[in-house]
Amino acid sequence: MARKVKNAVSAAVAGANVASIKDLGVQTAGHRARGVALGHAALKLWPALAKDFAKGDDRWTQFDMGSRVAYDDTHTAPVAVRDEKGRYTLVNAGDGVEGQHLTAAYLASQTPADWSRIKNDSPTLWTVMDQVRERVGNYVRDNRRNLRDNVNKAMGGVSRKVARQPNRTMPSVIADTIAELRAKIKLDLGNKAIDQAEHDKVLAWLIDGEKLFKKD
């Protein structure tokens, strides 16, 4: 059973075909388990990542665009609804709910002038829009970090946590990594970034890995 689980995970991460830097943003968000394979694909598509992770490269804008596509694919946009007094609140989308759906794409389409106008004309609308904008911004930043980790692994590096604590024992590193991955796949399942079958495969693989370091 353990070998079958490992083979299933290996097959899932074996290759990564990326069509564009925007697509790289989508795939980094949607296939985090690919790790090294996605890192190699990213380097092939975007060689500048090999030097300081393409710091300052304007193509990060395209990557962020893909990240927002992935966000909208995995999150139901809340709706900004105006009451009779002209104040706005966020409600869940559903039948009969009328208002502006605050998707990542919609928020990204607003220019600085738009944000300024909204803040002056309707402060409560600006507030609820800014709340969602912050969530999306955190998601995009996390996705950038995921890509950098994948690229670092592809270049033979180690994770940031291991690099910061070089004297930790291997069992300790493995235990912490497994705990982080457990939390991550649980979060991704809740956000619908992965389905139940993907979650269960990776969880079974992690459980199998834990057994290697457990004392009899």
What tokens were used for 29? 């968000």
117 and 188 fall within a common domain: no
What tokens were used for 77? 């946009």
85 and 130 fall within a common domain: yes
19 and 111 fall within a common domain: yes
71 and 83 fall within a common domain: yes
What is the domain extent for residue 207? Answer: 158-216
Q: What is the DSSP string of 5-70?
A: HHHHHHHHHS-----SHHHHHHHHHH-GGGTHHHHHHHHHH-GGGGTGGGTT-TTHHHHHHHHHHH
62 and 140 fall within a common domain: yes
- Rounded alpha-carbon distances, angstroms, from residue 94 to 34, 101, 136, 180, 191: 34, 11, 21, 34, 18
149 and 162 fall within a common domain: no
Residue 5 lies in a domain: no
pLDDT at 14: 43
Residue 6 lies in a domain: no
Into how many domains does the chain fold?
A: 2
76 and 174 fall within a common domain: no
For the stretch 67-119, pLDDT in tens is 999 999 999 999 999 998 999 999 998 877 889 999 999 999 999 999 999 99
Interaxial angle between packed helices 21-30 and 123-154, expressed in degrees from 0 to 180 and rounded to the nearest 10: 90
For the stretch 121-171, pLDDT in tens is 999 999 999 999 999 999 999 999 989 988 888 887 655 544 455 566 777
Domain final position from 142, 157, 172:
157
